[in-house]
């Protein structure tokens, strides 16, 4: 029998080598296919970080109106009863008196008690001999506030306080946020020809109601996101004009109508108007009725107030 030829042996060796190489390549492809996919392709993305909600700052703007200012106390009591937190307060004229007491940390019931024991004579000091610029000096009101507040200055109040007065020289409004509280309130309440103008830092100031009957713009300037304004002024057609004081108050009411309307429309979110048509600005005997009118006005406005306050919170979220 003949042995295999050299060419056949070489051909068989070549085929065997090729088969071995092909098997090696196939094995390599299988091992590569088993490699674990990239981690990023299977990892769940982290949840989004919740944006912190900034609480809105509620400002209370208390307007002027002489004895009708007792209604502000009722408004404060009613807001507290409904857990409406006030973060800052601005006051004009009679509103500045209540604003100062409230900013000091007194709640509505404490201010109510103080109002009922207040003697009108204790805050009235006739200018003797009569001044050609006013019948009352206003120092008694200044001392009454400072004694009640233990001489606490404006910048040391529990919540931020702003008191509005008018520069007698140039007619510009000023917002007192520092200094002697009693002096600033006296200036804000200095109704021309009734009270002497008040000199502060070389300038003279009179009633803030001349330039800002309800200081909604100043509450906004102090940082309020939401302004609750309290308008206690009389409507011109309902005011009593049978006395010198009545005529004077009517004059200021007429003068302040357009200013007040503009300021409230532009800067106030809610305007509370206690029903005080039967009360004159000089009638301190109806303080209980005025306080009750303030409470009733808040109760009436509460649905609108809550709705607008909720919308404001959503808008700032």
Contacts (Cβ under 8 Å, ≥6 apart) of 240: 246, 280
226 in Cβ contact with 86 (< 8 Å): no
Q: Is 104 exposed, middle or buried (0-12, 13-18, 19+ CB in 10 A)?
A: buried
Q: How far apart are CA 275 and CA 263, in angstroms?
A: 21
The strand pair at 226-230 and 270-272 is best described as: parallel
Can you say how many angstroms the Cα of residue 4 is from the centroid of all Cα atoms in its chain?
A: 110
Q: Is 207 a catalytic residue?
A: yes
Angle between helices 94-103 and 181-188 (to 10 degrees): 160
Q: Is 233 a catalytic residue?
A: no
Between the CA atoms of 155, 189, 102 and 298, what dihedral angle is there, to the nearest 10 degrees? -140
Q: How far apart are CA 165 and CA 92, in angstroms?
A: 7
Residue at token pair 């990023």? 40
Q: How far apart are CA 57 and CA 204, in angstroms?
A: 32
Q: How far apart are CA 216 and CA 61, in angstroms?
A: 5
Among 87, 196, 207, 269, the active-site one is 207
Among 87, 93, 231, 269, the active-site one is 93
Catalytic residues: 93, 207
């Amino acid at each position: 029998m003949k042995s295999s030829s050299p060419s056949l042996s070489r051909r068989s060796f070549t085929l065997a080598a090729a088969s071995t190489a092909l098997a090696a390549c196939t094995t390599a492809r299988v091992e590569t296919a088993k490699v674990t996919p990239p981690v990023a392709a299977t990892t769940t993305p982290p949840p989004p970080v919740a944006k912190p909600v900034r609480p809105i700052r509620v400002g209370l703007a208390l307007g002027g109106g002489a004895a009708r200012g007792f209604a502000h106390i009722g408004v404060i009591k009613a807001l507290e009863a409904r857990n409406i937190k006030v973060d800052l307060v601005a006051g004009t004229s009679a509103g500045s008196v209540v604003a100062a007491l409230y900013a000091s940390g007194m709640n509505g019931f404490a201010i109510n008690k103080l109002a009922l024991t207040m003697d009108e004579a204790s805050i009235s000091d006739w200018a003797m001999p009569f001044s050609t610029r006013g019948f009352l000096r206003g120092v008694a009101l200044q001392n009454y506030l400072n004694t009640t507040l233990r001489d606490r200055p404006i910048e040391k109040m529990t919540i931020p306080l702003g008191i509005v007065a008018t520069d007698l020289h140039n007619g510009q409004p000023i917002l007192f946020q520092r200094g002697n509280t009693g002096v600033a309130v006296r200036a804000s309440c200095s109704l021309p020809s009734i009270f002497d103008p008040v000199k502060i830092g070389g300038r003279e100031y009179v009633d803030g109601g001349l330039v800002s009957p309800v200081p909604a713009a100043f509450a906004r300037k102090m940082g309020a996101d939401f302004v609750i304004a309290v308008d206690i002024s009389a409507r011109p057609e309902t005011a009593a004009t049978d006395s010198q004081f009545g005529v004077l108050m009517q004059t200021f009411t007429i003068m302040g109508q357009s200013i007040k309307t503009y300021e409230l429309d532009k800067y106030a979110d809610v305007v509370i108007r206690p029903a005080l048509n039967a009360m004159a600005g000089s009638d301190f005997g109806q303080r209980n009725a005025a306080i009750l009118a303030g409470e009733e006005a808040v109760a009436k406005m509460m649905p609108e107030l809550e709705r607008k306050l909720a919308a404001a919170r959503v808008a700032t979220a």
